[in-house]
Structure 1
Amino acid sequence: MQRKLLLLPVLLFLFAKATAQSPLSVDYIMRDPKWMGTFPSSHFWSEDGNKVFFKYNSEKDPADSLYKIDLSKANQLSKVKWTEEKTLTKPQSAFNADQSLRIYRKGNSIILEDHKKKTESQLIEWFEPVSNLGFLANENRISFNAGGNIYVYDRTSKTVSKATSISNGSKSTNTGSASESKAGFLEAENLNLLGVVRERKEALAKSRAYRESIRESSSEYVYFTEGKNLSNLQLSPDEKFATFSVFTPASNKNTAVPNYVDASGFTENLNSRSKVGISPSKVDIGIYDLTRDTVYFVTTSNLPGIKDLPDYVTDYPEKIREEKERSVTLSGPVFSPDGKRAIIQVRAFDNKDRWITELNLKTGELKTLDRQRDEAWIGGPGIGGGFGGGTFGWFPDNQHIYFQSEATGYSHLYLLNVASGEKKALTSGSYEVFDPFLSKDKKFWYMTTSEVDPGERHFYRMPVMGGSMEKLTSMTGNNEVVLSPDEKKLAIIYSYSNKPAELYVQENRVGAKPQQLTSGQSQEFKAYNWRDPQLIRFDAADGAKVPARLYLPDPAKKNGAAVIFVHGAGYLQNVHKWWSTYFREYMFHNLLTDLGYTVLDIDYRASAGYGRDWRTGIYRHMGGKDLSDQVDGAKFLMAKHGVESGKIGIYGGSYGGFITLMALFNHGEIFTSGAALRSVTDWAHYNHGYTANILNTPEEDPIAYRRSSPIYFAEGLQGHLLIAHGMVDTNVHFQDVVRLSQRLIELGKDNWEMALYPVEDHGFVEPSSWADEYKRILKLFNTTLLEEKP
């Protein structure tokens, strides 16, 4: 009897393992996300600081709408009516230096707001659309663009002068101003019969005549663009120069993606992107000297290292390379507040160099102020891409510029004196800085950083010349902050690992307590006890500490099997303490854990949030350290968490699908099965902007592509593979898996299957597609890792 009693707990344990269940199901969690509740996004303040606006959906509408919470009315929540919403934005708005004045476009008019006097007035009504409004150094003067030229309105004299004379035609064929053609019979009769039409035409002629009478042109000089389209036309604040960009796009063949279920009933082609290895697009910056009446272009030939070759060329000694200037892209210029100086960002097309330069406006020559070289590729928070962007601008003193750089291995904020060249790091440490901006009084920096932990984001204030940072937010997780117009309050969209986003408001001071304004979780969503996964680091074979999210099952349900999830995008972070954009996968991981699986979600090499070395860890070898991190994660689970050999699966989408393929093709001894979703199978078929950063181009670096593309390793498939792909995917084309499937057929592989989704693009939309895909994934793991019958 005693022996039978001793065996009873063991039998109960085995019974619990055999019947492990979950209150969740794939159909349940993959429904339209509205079942979870409504969560705020895209928040901003009203101009008086009394209201917070945000996207929301408390009335179960087909899509999110604009809502507001009125802080002056006991935090009253209401949907914004369209009549109010259209008054919230001021098109083409611009402020003066102290932000006491604002100009904006209303139709073809320019409106001036005086925030101190609380008045609004129309400055001018133009006869054609206006754009690019701005205050000049003399704030009584305002520049605007119209008809491909720059005009200046003087608020004192109430006159308009034409600053530039630019024609889209050719000098050789220009015959001056064309006179109006003689009206034909139909037009003459129309004007004779219809008085209102006749009056409108006469009014337009008078408007044009008035425009001609009030504009001032200093010379007869005209710059002819020879048919090229100019962009970014701007006037220097001192009104001595105008600059513009000429964009010459690369002429490359795009890929046609067939849509087999078009509403027309015919197969229609969707015009998609071109492939990696394209010839470069070109941006030239022109300078229009308004004093000398001449136009010339920025030159880059004197940039230090402009002819430097990347290190990888040593792998191709047989190639003969001529010494020549590398192709570059230019962005800017950005003028100093007084207009006397200008800076330009230059980026090499091969992604190895970023130069920050001062532009000599009189000659077009560039003086290098800072050069960042990276033998992998230039990147990181605030750095900007090939066509500019990122953190980059002037201090109000007209002497210093600010920018971000990964010079220390982490993206930090720098200040540089243009005259002396002295550079100062305003932030430092093993963390990253995001979205810094100056306070209105220019005494402080505000920024978000990961100083507390790579998996947290907090909002800080710092003296303008650097120093101690004050942490203004206190909630553990992600704090997405928008500062009120008077800079006295913070509007925070906050979330935690198992808590979707909610809106909070807080006073702008250290230690202030945030007040929650929304509570959007549905009762149905709250009914389940969503896990707070452990954030851990395990040891990689090369000594790196790899971050991961770990989901551990109840010991009574543990089945000895594990699933490793691989996030997409490559440069993306998913091991953090806030609500994941992979919320469906997060819920699926809760379901798996309920069923007894151990789940590991890894921020492998190349993931965001961990500095330059982590970011570039896959340079010239995708499927190298990013894949070995998955293998080391599997070994960690077997060594530390009782996961059994032969019972490990892997899955992921996009980049995660690519890693899944590489795992099954190269490490069948570790991974028994895997689901590759919308996966890249050959990097030579992906886009240029992403792929060329990491692998260079197929023509220049075929070694990198050969060792990084799954299609070359398909013969190594041992385990069970599920391929799932949307057929109208315009990002990772359906062609990718078609080519791979033919390769698998020719290799005689029969342990794989494919699920196709005719109406889905790269990001699935239909709940039925999500449910079908994840039921197949769950079935794959249950049948191959637990040997359950289908």
Structure 2
Amino acid sequence: MKKLLLLFLLTGMVATAQQNLTIEQATYGQYQAYAPKSLTAPQWRTDTKTITYLDNTYSKLMSRSEESNWEETTFLTKQDLTTALKAKFPSDYFSFQIFPYRYEWKDKNTISFEATGTNGTYLVLFDVEKKEVKHAVSFSKDAAQQTMAPNGTKAAWLNENNIVITDENGNNTNVTNDTDKGIVNGSDYVHRQEFGINKGMWWSPDSNMLLYYRKDETMVANYPLVNFGERIAKENDIRYPMAGMKSEEVTLVVYNVASKTKTTLKTEGPKEQFLTCVTWSPDNKYVFVGVLNREQNHLKLNRYEAATGNLVNTLFEEQASTYVEPLHNLTFLPNSNDKFLYRTEKDGYEQLYVYNTDGKLIKNLGYNDVVVMELLNFDAKGKTVFYVGTANNGLDRQLYQVNLKSGKTTQITNGSGTHSVMVSSDGSLALDSFSNTTTPNDVSIIATASKKATSLLKSDNPYTGVTELPKMELVTITAADGKTPLNGRLIYPGNFDANKQYPVMVYVYGGPHAQLVTNDWLGGASLFDYYMAQQGYVVFTLDNRGSDARGRDFEHVIHRNLGQNEMADQMKGVEFLKSKSFVNQDKIGVYGWSFGGFMSTSLMLNHGDTFKVGVAGGPVCDWQYYEVMYGERYMDMPQENPEGYEKASVVNKASKLNGRLLMIHGAQDNVVVQQHSMQFINACITAGKQVDYFLYPTHEHNVRGKDRIHLNHKIADYFDTHLK
């Protein structure tokens, strides 16, 4: 009897030990303490059936191979790297706190990584068999966007707005010498990083030429950001091209390392066009560029001769009544100089097409309504290619293999959920990390031919014994068009009682290139959503038409009419909520950031009878104050679409505000500049409407670091104060 009593007391202690999440845990816990167990920084070793990854201490590179039946062994240590670097650079001091997280396999015996010494930063090619440095290039610690040439003997980097090339002997060559800060060379911040741009410099495959962006923004208006960190506040000007105003002028330049000469590609046409899809040909002779007009409805894929800059041919043109949005560089087929993969949604879904360099379509590789989300490897013979694509109305991610000649597509993975996949260099094996709403993470090796899986790791629920997460379910709601199924996520309040009524927090984004509801662990939600549910809220999210992963027509309903169809769909979500007996229809609030801040404010003003409380972070308040590249894609110019801009503006609707609205903005926001919320606040003052406002003086578009805890606390307090 005493043993039973003791057992009862102990189990009771365990039960009461599970507390609600703290705001600190809710902010970073899902990425740190409560992240499902997984492999850290996994990579396939090139030309092998071996995977490598970091150990739990981040000090060793571990490996598993088919040859060893996937048993874990130590492959390299941070001490191996330190010893080799000290031998190569005896005058410098290296101390790795962890094994380089961003290591990358370049070939079977070589990894690349970045190292920091006392004297500077190094890009390193390391021989894993000999455990020695093959090549290394050093830079000043002030260097930015450094990129090593394929042969490892030199690297290009940015010294403010100019490009420098440094060889492995430490010799520097100044590629550009522009003194005007309005001329920016080699930066990835071209066209404000739209169109998939994440690089500003590209080495030719033979390492003999450097292709780079040259951006002239001297004609773009200066926009002042105020730095409050100094005793006398300092103005920090940025160049910000607003919709309908003068935009930057961009060219592409080829620098020949041997002759030190420059050749500008003759991308003739309007100076404010966009240059995208920048790709070297494998034979180093040509550069392919997607030339997109400012209206963003007409794309030309052009080939230019690298030596002269001359236009060789226009391979094809792509036009749309809405917009064309190129997002990816070309991918040449293995051992081919004249055939490549091109990704486009021109036929309804972003899919793969094989073209030759004369512009002839060789094969459409599209499969049903699958959207290609990530292009992976080819097989060893170059006959098939692997990619991760959507399934289950955009909720799932699966691995697909498609034959380049026949177009036959095979789904490799199974099990409804999210498969995050890396394919070996010969295509025979895939490392699959799988999760869904009931599976934190299952890691396995899949033989792509047989689809047979070998389990490597299964994660337990990381919240067991810590906290009990509220119930979550994925739901389907019909859009305002009466036919399109929309994906939603409903998180029930903690300690849910069906006989009670609860307040609601609708978390919204709603814009393009974002998907909030997914069939993975936590359903795509942040832990802050679960925190709010534990505080007694129904937390609801809906991916309306206009959001990501459902195809062209699903997204393009927003064209020239931002906010309208999105709000109509969100109100269908509200109808769903109001059909639930446990929802308090008089206590519905909404929260969102960026496009979600625009949506939150729009819903508060246009549907004030429904939404009683709102929080809008970094909100677009008037699209005429947003930048050219994103804003004009969806809305055209203000002078071309005045009705659309007027309808989308929340500034001219300030008089409709009835509930409690908190606006939050970063004073250093260079994406949605603070002028947006200032215009709205001023309109509220004019209309005699009270509105709450909070500024983060040092933050840009997102509130990061420890201040994120402060932000989440403020949001939770606002709902607790005004909605409960």
TM-score over 0.5 for the pair: yes
Residue 780 of structure 1, CA deviation: 2.4
Is the aligned partner of 1:477 residue 2:417?
Answer: yes
Deviations 1:667-688 (A, max 9, x none): 2233233222332222233334
- Distance across 2 between alignment mates of 1:693 and 1:619: 8
Q: Is the 8 A contact 2:417 2:436 kept in 1?
A: yes
TM-superposed deviation, 1:101: 9.0
Give me the whole-angstrom Cα distance separating, in 2, the residues matched to 1:528 and 1:76.
Answer: 33
The question of 1:587 aligning with 2:530 is answered yes
Q: CA deviation at 1:128?
A: 11
**1:769 and 2:708 equivalent?**
no
The 3 A distance-change label for structure 1 pair 732 and 80 is farther
2:250 to 280, 283, 306: 283
Please list, as runs of the form range in 1=range in 2, the aligned pairs for 1:88-103 lying within 5 A after superposition.
none
Q: Which amino acid aligns with 1:364?
A: N
Decide whether aligned partners of structure 1 residues 272 and 233 sit closer, same or farther in structure 2, where only a CA change above 3 A counts.
closer
- Counterpart CA distance in 1 for 2:685 and 2:665 is 18
- Alignment of 1:781 onto 2:723: yes
Q: Which SS does the other structure have where 2:316 is aligned?
A: strand
Corresponding residue for residue 95 of structure 2: none
* TM-score normalized by the length of structure 2: 0.73
Maintained 8 Å contact 2:125/2:135: no
Cα deviations by residue, 1:707-737 (Å, 9 ceiling, x for unpaired): 2221121111122323334445444344433
The Cα shift of 1:46 comes to 4.5
Alignment of 1:552-571 (within 5 A): 554=496, 556-559=498-501, 561-567=503-509, 570-571=512-513
**Quick one: distance in 2 between partners of 1:69 and 1:103?**
14
- The answer to whether structure 1 residue 373 and structure 2 residue 319 are counterparts is yes
Could you list the per-position Cα deviations for residues 78-128 of structure 1 after superposition, in whole angstroms to 9, with x for gaps in the alignment? 898533567888999997xxx68979899999999999xx78999999999
Paired residues of 1:276 and 1:692 also in contact (CA < 8 A):
no
* AA aligned opposite 1:744: C
1:355 counterpart = 2:295 = no
Deviation at 1:50, TM superposition (A): 4.1
Are the aligned partners of 2:339 and 2:356 in contact in 1 as well (CA < 8 Å)? yes
Distance 1:584 1:331 in 2: 37
What does residue range 319-358 of structure 1 map to in structure 2 within 5 Å? 325=270, 327-331=272-276, 334-338=279-283, 343-358=288-303
Does structure 2 conserve the Cα–Cα contact (< 8 Å) formed by 1:502 and 1:520?
Answer: no
> C-alpha offsets along residues 560-610 of structure 1, whole Å, 9 cap, x if unaligned?
654322036642001210246641343135326xx3x54431111221011
CA contact (8 A) 2:506 2:540 kept: yes
The amino acid across from 1:719 in the alignment is G
Distance in 2, matches of 1:84 and 1:350, equals: 54
Partner letter of residue 53 of structure 1?
A: Y
Q: Match of 2:302, SS?
A: strand
Structure 2 equivalent of residue 633 of structure 1: 573
Partner of 2:349: 410
Q: 1: CA distance between counterparts of 2:114 and 2:568?
A: 57
What is the CA RMSD across the aligned residues, in angstroms? 4.8
Query: Residue deviations 1:3-53, cap 9 Å, x none?
Result: xxxxxxxxxxxxxxxxxxx96366475354244356556432455654432
- Relative to structure 1, the CA distance from residue 498 to residue 166 in structure 2 (aligned partners, 3 Å threshold; closer, same or farther) is same
1:466/1:269 CA distance change after superposition, 3 Å:
farther
Measured in 1, the distance between the counterparts of 2:260 and 2:177 equals 18
Aligned length: 640
Farther-moved stretch of structure 1 (703-712 vs 479-488): 479-488
Query: What residue in structure 1 maps to residue 53 of structure 2?
Result: 53
For residue 89 of structure 2, what is the aligned residue in structure 1? Answer: none
1:296–1:364 contact (8 Å) kept in structure 2: no
Q: Match for 2:314: what amino acid?
A: T
SS of residue matched to 2:396: coil
- Whether the 8 Å CA contact 1:92–1:132 is kept in 2: the answer is no
Q: Partners of 1:119 and 1:508 in 2: how far apart?
A: 32
Counterpart check, 1:393 vs 2:335: no
SS in 1 for 2:391: coil
Residue 603 (structure 2) pairs with residue 610 (structure 1):
no
1:71 maps to 64
Matching residue of 1:176: none
What is the correspondence of 1:377-456 to structure 2 with a 5 Å cutoff?
A: 377-379=323-325, 383-384=326-327, 389-394=328-333, 396-419=335-358, 421-436=360-375, 437-456=377-396
SS in 1 for 2:723: helix
Q: Which TM-score applies when normalising by structure 1?
A: 0.68
Report the alpha carbon displacement of residue 666 of structure 1 after superposing the two structures with TM. 1.3
Q: Which amino acid aligns with 1:424?
A: K
Asked whether the 8 Å contact 1:92–1:131 carries over to 2, the reply is no
Secondary structure at 1:778 match in 2: helix
Residues 257 and 648 of structure 1, relative CA distance in 2, 3 Å threshold: same
Aligned residue among 659, 677, 682 for 1:742:
682
Could you report, residue by residue, the CA deviation over 1:470-503 in whole angstroms, capped at 9, with x for unpaired residues? 3332343221112235544333333323655565
Distance 2:61 2:253 in 1: 45
* Matching residue of 1:732: 672
Name whichever of 106-115 and 708-717 sits farther off: 106-115
Q: What letter matches 1:586 in structure 2?
A: D
1:397-455: per-residue Cα shift (whole Å, max 9, x none)? 33322101111110010011334723421123212012223234312201001134410
Task: For residue 628 of structure 1, report the CA deviation from its aligned partner.
Answer: 1.4
Q: Equivalents in 1 of 2:697, 2:309: separation in Å?
A: 57
Code of the residue aligned with 1:247 in structure 2: it is: R
Deviations 1:589-643 (A, max 9, x none): 5326xx3x54431111221011111222212222211111112221233357675
For the structure 1 residues 500 and 730, does the alpha-carbon distance in structure 2 shift closer, same or farther, using more than 3 Å as the test? farther
* Structure 2 residue identity aligned to 1:618: I
In the alignment, structure 2 segments of 5+ residues that lack a partner are 1-17, 85-98, 116-120, 141-145, 158-162, 168-172, 187-199
Structure-1 separation of matches of 2:156 and 2:587: 67
The answer on 1:36 being equivalent to 2:2 is no
Is residue 662 from structure 1 mapped to residue 602 from structure 2 by the alignment? yes
User: In 1, Cα distance between the equivalents of 2:323 and 2:509?
Assistant: 22
Q: 2:515, 2:547 within 8 Å by CA — same for their partners in 1?
A: yes
Q: Distance in 2 between matches of 1:366 and 1:37?
A: 51
Deviation for aligned residue 1:456: 0.5
- Note the 1:664-743 alignment, pairs <5 A: 664-698=604-638, 701-743=641-683
Most deviating of 343-352 and 480-489: 480-489
Paired with 2:136 and 2:23, the residues of 1 have a C-alpha distance of 58
Contact 1:480 1:493 in 2 (8 A): yes
Q: Note if contact 2:667-2:696 (Cα within 8 Å) is conserved in structure 1.
A: yes
The residue that corresponds to 2:20 in the other structure is 24
Q: Is the 8 A contact 1:568 1:654 kept in 2?
A: no
CA contact (8 A) 2:510 2:546 kept: no
Which amino acid in 2 is paired with 1:406?
E
Q: Is the 8 A contact 1:569 1:654 kept in 2?
A: no
Unaligned runs of 5+ residues in structure 1 are: 1-21, 60-64, 136-141, 153-164, 171-226, 307-324, 783-790
Instruction: For 2:103 and 2:61, locate their aligned partners in 1 and report how far apart those are by CA, in whole Å.
Output: 24
Take 1:598 and 1:489, find their aligned partners in 2: how far apart are those partners? 43
Q: Answer with 476-485 or 446-455: which moved more.
A: 476-485
Given that 1:406 and 1:412 are in contact with CA atoms closer than 8 Å, whether structure 2 keeps it comes out as yes
| Corresponding letter in the other structure for 1:620 | R
Residues in 2 aligned to 1:548 and 1:507: alpha-carbon distance in whole angstroms: 34
- Alpha-carbon shift at residue 545 of structure 1 (Å): 2.9
Secondary structure at the counterpart of residue 476 of structure 1: coil
1:70 is displaced (CA, Å) by: 3.7
Residue 443 (structure 2) pairs with residue 467 (structure 1): no
Q: Which amino acid aligns with 2:249?
A: K
Tell me the distance in 1 between the aligned counterparts of 2:699 and 2:669. Answer: 7
